[in-house]
Structure 1
Amino acid sequence: MRLLILGGTEFVGRAVVESALARGWEVTVFHRGRHEAPAGVTELLGDRTAPDGLAALAEGTWDVIVDTWSAAPSAVRDAARLLAGRAGRYVYVSSCSVYAWPRAVGYDETGPVVAGSPDAGDVPYAEAKRGGELAVLDAIGEARSLLVRAGLIIGPWENIGRLPWWLGRAARGGPMLAPGPRDTPLQYIDVRDLAEWMVEAAERGLSGPYNLVSEQGHTTMGELLELCARVTGSAAELRWTAAERVLAAGIEPWTELPIWVPRAELPELHNEVYGLSAAKALGAGLSCRGVGETVTDTWAWLRSIGGVAPRRGDRPGVGLDPAVEAKVLAG
């Protein structure tokens, strides 16, 4: 199989490249040259946001194209139109954010979605992802389009900083704010499981939208943080603190305390992030590794690059100010 990936040097894109190479695929990576491409690929350089930025893609045919773009839908539109006649299947990495509010627990691919336009420029994230979906459908058609609506993605190469922040915090040791309840259920997808499923699904000719995430309650906040403390070998002392107290201190869930969304206090947000139905993807072969493997491997990757995770410039930083943490713990 011949794969063209638009991106391919960071996080999701890199995981897709590694998965495809492991299967013996021929991989072409189209990117801006800001990061080193994985070994074993053919590189094409260009900036899809610049005039004539797709010139390097003027020729060539591929069995599968994977597009991870998350900004202006018009960039997806332009690439999809250019490649429509030279692509067997177009896989667009979308997001569960495309579903409209409010969302009931167990929402699936049939749920209502936000409005979007394939011709839009800079728009909010949910609209951008929906516009990207529409751009692919308009250019490629439903039969050859695979829309991957991912939930929370963590694992090696993460450039958002959520799990890396918790690992770094645990590694520092000492009293550590652990936001409760301890049994808060989490639902996510390891980036490698996401990539493996996408590559296999494309090979099998699947099409349409799929929620890509583990089953609900795949792990808990307690298990995740205890694993972070254990794999880092630190002397971190988890101080479980009631959600009401954490919120009363003005601490923002999801951003200042990454991954954490208290179910009782913020039910709509918890349903959005951790209430998806993954039945369709699980029925189509999705397999999710255990949280222990994800945490262990992410820590090993962090150590291999000096302990500081890369950060995307288009996303806000995450993590809690140590002074704020100390104040809450002092109570």
Structure 2
Amino acid sequence: MRILILGGSRFLGRAFAAEALDAGHDVTVFNRGRSGPDLPGVTAVRGDRENPADLERLVAEGTAAGPWDAVVDTSGYVPKTVGAGARALAEAAGAYLFISSASAFADFPSRPLTADSPLFDCPPDATDGEYGPLKAGCERAIRENFPGRVLVHYPGIILGPHETSGRLTWWLSRIARGGEVLAPGDPKRPMQLIDARDIARFGLHCIEAGDPGRYLLAGPKGHTTFGEWLAACAQTTGSDAHFTWAPDEVLLEHEVTIWSGLPLWSPQEGEAAAVWDKDSAPALAAGLVCRPIEDTVRDTWAWLKDAPSLADEDGRINGHGLAPAEEQRILAALKH
């Protein structure tokens, strides 16, 4: 197939490009060339999706050999911009796969999710707002311009090589330093993590199969726990780290920022009670395969060791993680 990826040089877009190339597809990427090098083997068209002239040039250059079979959009965030791009591409591609987010659902993360849960009410021409509603508006904008030809996937927490958000990467960096590590909440708390490469492989499978389903993408229930995840980090890094688990109420008392202070931690009650309760069974039945979390941790560490440092002077990555002094203060308080 001929595949156009809007993005294609960072994390999830890069994973799609790599999986598509490995499958033998003809891959075009459209990006500004600022976020990183394109993978060898792709056809790169430079441009900004906010610039109509760049979109016109993309269509002219990219379809010289015929239309694309599908567009893969991993970088759409503003409905009005996404809608303009979809209009420009409507006659140049057969299908449009939009990678949305679990955050597009109005009930997330307070209530369990299915792919039929209600989306936020965001218009298709919105230009500003919060992340989740904007993702819902982007989907509406695409459906207006690719009627009957849209695939929408809603990932949960995405991990894997080239992840720079600071979720797995911060934990790997911290655990690699060894010693006593502050761990959050309950080590038996189940998690539904998913590797970017598995999202890409499933997305391409759906395009190839002509499957227009709406799917929640997350690891199957029982895939891993917080304790198993951190233990995999310790084993992978060869660290002597040992974990001291702090109850939710202690972390709240010490004003640890939910979700980012200790990445992916949130209390098991309240507004984020169902953050790890997504119904991924339909996607699994349709062909989604989630690799063991140990494989994701291993491959991410192999990449991270050779990557430029992502951390600031306090060891945080993209605002994620605790400064060493703060971690030690909480660990000391737990002993009294």
Aligned to 2:38: 37
> What one-letter code is carried by the residue in structure 2 that aligns with 1:31?
N
Q: Is the 8 Å Cα contact of residues 28 and 43 (structure 2) preserved in structure 1? A: yes
| Structure-2 residue corresponding to 1:94 | 100
Helix, strand or coil: the match of 1:148?
strand
Following superposition, the deviation at residue 309 of structure 1 comes to 7.4
**CA–CA distance in structure 2, aligned partners of residues 133 and 168 of structure 1:** 36
Q: How far apart, in 2, do the equivalents of 1:296 and 1:182 lie? A: 20
Indicate how the Cα distance of structure 1 residues 288 and 267 shifts in structure 2: closer, same or farther if over 3 A, else same.
farther
Within a 5 Å distance, the mapping from 1:175-254 to structure 2 comes to: 175-254=180-259
Identity of matched residues, %: 43
What residue number does 1:79 align with? Answer: 85
User: Which amino acid counterpart does residue 72 of structure 1 have in structure 2?
Assistant: V
The answer to whether the 8 A contact 2:102-2:108 is kept is: no
**1:142-165 Cα deviation digits (max 9, x unpaired):** x21000111110111112111000
What amino acid does structure 2 have at the position aligned with 1:270? A
Moved more, 298-307 or 143-152: 298-307
- Given that 1:256 and 1:318 are in contact with CA atoms closer than 8 Å, whether structure 2 keeps it comes out as yes
Report the Cα offset of residue 225 of structure 1: 0.8
What amino acid sits opposite 1:144 in the alignment? R
**How big is the shift at 1:52?**
2.6
1:168, 1:307 within 8 Å by CA — same for their partners in 2?
A: no
Alpha-carbon separation, structure 2, partners of 1:49 and 1:150: 25
Identify the match of residue 153 of structure 2 among 137, 148, 155: 148
Q: Give, as a single letter, the amino acid of the residue that structure 1 aligns with 2:327.
A: E
Q: For residue 165 of structure 2, what is the aligned residue in structure 1? A: 160
* Distance in 1, Cα, partners of 2:57 & 2:167: 34
1:39-91 deviation per Cα after TM superposition (whole angstroms, max 9, x unaligned)? 10001000112453323323212001101124211111011111111111100
> Mapping of 1:112-131 within 5 angstroms?
112-131=118-137
Q: Which amino acid aligns with 1:43?
A: A
SS in 1 for 2:97: strand
Offset, 1:308: 3.4
Relative to structure 1, is the Cα distance of residues 267 and 26 closer, same or farther in structure 2, using a 3 angstrom cutoff? same
Is residue 180–residue 243 contact of structure 2 (8 Å, CA) maintained in 1?
yes
CA distance in 2 between counterparts of 1:86 and 1:167 reads 43
CA contact under 8 A between 1:181 and 1:262: conserved in structure 2? no
Q: For the residues of structure 2 that align with 1:102 and 1:304, how far apart are their CA atoms?
A: 36
Is 1:26–2:26 an aligned residue pair? yes
- CA offsets, 1:82-141, max 9 Å, x none? 111111110000011111126675421111111112211122101110011001111001
Is 1:270 matched up with 2:273? Answer: yes
Cα distance, 1:112–1:121 mapped onto 2, change above 3 Å = same
CA distance in 1, matches of 2:132, 2:97: 18
Q: Is the 8 A contact 1:65 1:87 kept in 2?
A: yes
- Mapped contact 1:187–1:274 kept (Cα < 8 A): yes
CA–CA distance in structure 2, aligned partners of residues 102 and 231 of structure 1 = 32
User: Which of 284, 293, 296 is 2:295 aligned to?
Assistant: 293
Unmatched segments (≥5 aa) in structure 2:
none
Q: What does residue 326 of structure 1 align with?
A: 328
Post-superposition CA distance 1:253-306 (Å, at most 9, x none): 21111112232xx343131x2111011111101111111111111100101224
Q: Report the TM-score when normalising by structure 2.
A: 0.92
Q: Which runs of 5+ in 1 are unaligned?
A: none
> Does residue 8 in structure 1 map to residue 11 in structure 2?
no
Q: Is the 8 A contact 1:159 1:309 kept in 2?
A: no
With over 3 angstroms needed to count, the CA separation of the structure-2 counterparts of 1:309 and 1:293, relative to structure 1, is farther
TM-score by length of structure 1 reads 0.93
Number of aligned residue pairs = 323
Q: Deviations over 1:181-238 (max 9, x none)?
A: 1101111211110000001111101114210111123111101111111111122221
Residue aligned with 1:107, SS? coil
**AA in 2 matched with 1:8:** G
For 1:144 and 1:55, the matched residues in 2 are separated by 21
Q: Does the 8 A contact of 2:99 with 2:155 survive in 1? A: yes
Distance (Å, rounded) in 1 between the aligned partners of 2:311 and 2:139: 29
Contact 2:182/2:246 (8 A) holds in 1: yes
Paired with 2:267 and 2:235, the residues of 1 have a C-alpha distance of 23
CA contact (8 A) 1:164 1:309 kept: no
Q: Separation in 1 of the partners of 2:222 and 2:329? A: 31
